[in-house]
């Protein structure tokens, strides 16, 4: 089957790494290193909240887009520790991550919360990267597809077609995150194909054919090419390997 014309996307999730100075230095290095990268792929970085504004400045005028690692759904109010969609848009974010497994596992994020965050982001014109992924225990118990389906349907609940068109889904198996144990291209493809079928049921085939589904979990320069060779793998959400300009750049420069 011919590959659908979906623009590849490589996103770097810097997690809780980087003072403002460190983040700006990484952003500047990436900017110059990627100046000659192929223009057919979208590049996104997600620094910590405190560095967003400064990194936004460092990337101004470049093709690298800014992403936040989380977002609240309300526009303002008594929500200590949270950041509103408008605040993120103001510092130049175009993307936000919603439902990262570290939020789910370590900070009690629920399926319903992920849906609220995605909806709040979309209402403010931000584009969510909605994360789903099973734990090792769930996979070993044969529950991978059931978990993925539950998380996806919950995250996209009540979203209209235009909203689903604006977002990306990232499949990040929890057992592959930060472990060096990448899903095989076949394992990633199998889940991505299921995700695309679920979105086709929710929003129609046209939208699901255009939906970008990223893989995340120990993506490195030496495994990106084989992952991107799979027909339903449209990009990557990269943690550790996004913290060095050279390794992230090589991932951006994947070859199919
Ligand atoms: P690693 O690439 O460090 O495994 O992290 C993946 C991830 O969680 C990206 O959001």
Residues 234, 253: Cα–Cα separation, whole Å: 14
Residues 115, 88: Cα–Cα separation, whole Å: 18
- Establish whether residue 133 lines the binding site of ligand 1, counting it when its CB lies within 6 angstroms of any ligand atom: no
Max Cα separation, the chain? 51
| Domain coordinates in residue numbering, the chain | 8-17+40-252
pLDDT digits over 74-102, tens only? 999 999 999 999 999 999 999 999 999 99
**Structure confidence at residue 3 (pLDDT):** 64
Which atom number of ligand 1 is nearest to the Cα of residue 100?
A: 10
Residues 77, 249: Cα–Cα separation, whole Å: 39
Pull the structure tokens for residue 225: 């090419």
Residue 108's contacts (CB-CB under 8 Å, 6 or more residues apart) are none
pLDDT digits over 146-203, tens only? 999 999 999 999 999 999 999 999 999 999 999 999 999 999 999 999 999 999 999 9
Distance from Cα 132 to the centre of ligand 1, integer Å: 13
CB 26, CB 18: distance < 8 Å? yes
Burial of 76 (0-12, 13-18, 19+ CB in 10 A): exposed
Q: Best substitution site from 17, 215, 237 to test ligand 1's pocket, by max atoms within 8 Å of Cβ?
A: 237
Instruction: Provide the terminal-to-terminal Cα distance of the chain, rounded to the nearest Å.
Output: 16
CATH number at 8-17+40-252: 3.20.20.70
Which atom number of ligand 1 is nearest to the Cα of residue 218?
A: 4
């Amino acid at each position: 089957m011919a590959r659908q014309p979906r623009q590849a996307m490589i996103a770097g999730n810097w997690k809780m790494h980087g003072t403002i100075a460190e983040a700006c230095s990484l952003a500047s290095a990436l900017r110059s290193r990627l100046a000659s990268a192929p223009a057919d792929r979208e590049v996104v970085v997600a620094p910590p909240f405190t560095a967003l504004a400064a990194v936004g400045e460092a990337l101004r005028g470049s093709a690298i887009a800014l992403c936040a690692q989380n977002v609240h759904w309300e526009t303002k109010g008594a929500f200590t520790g949270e950041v509103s969609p408008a605040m993120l848009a103001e510092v130049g974010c175009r993307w936000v991550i919603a439902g990262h497994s570290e939020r789910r596992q370590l900070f009690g994020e629920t399926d319903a919360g992920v849906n609220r965050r995605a909806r709040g982001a979309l209402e403010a014109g931000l584009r969510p990267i909605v994360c789903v992924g099973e734990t090792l225990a769930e996979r070993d118990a044969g529950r991978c597809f059931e978990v993925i389906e539950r998380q996806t349907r919950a995250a996209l609940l009540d979203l209209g077609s235009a909203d689903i068109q604006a977002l990306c889904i990232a499949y990040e198996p929890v057992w592959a995150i930060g472990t060096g144990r990448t899903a095989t291209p076949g394992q990633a493809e199998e889940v991505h194909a299921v995700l695309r079928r679920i979105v086709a049921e929710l929003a129609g085939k046209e939208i699901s054919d255009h939906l970008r589904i990223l893989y995340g979990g120990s993506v490195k320069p030496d495994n990106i090419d084989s992952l991107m060779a799979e027909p339903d793998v449209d990009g990557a959400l990269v943690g550790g390997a996004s913290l060095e300009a050279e390794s992230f750049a090589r991932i951006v420069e994947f070859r199919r």
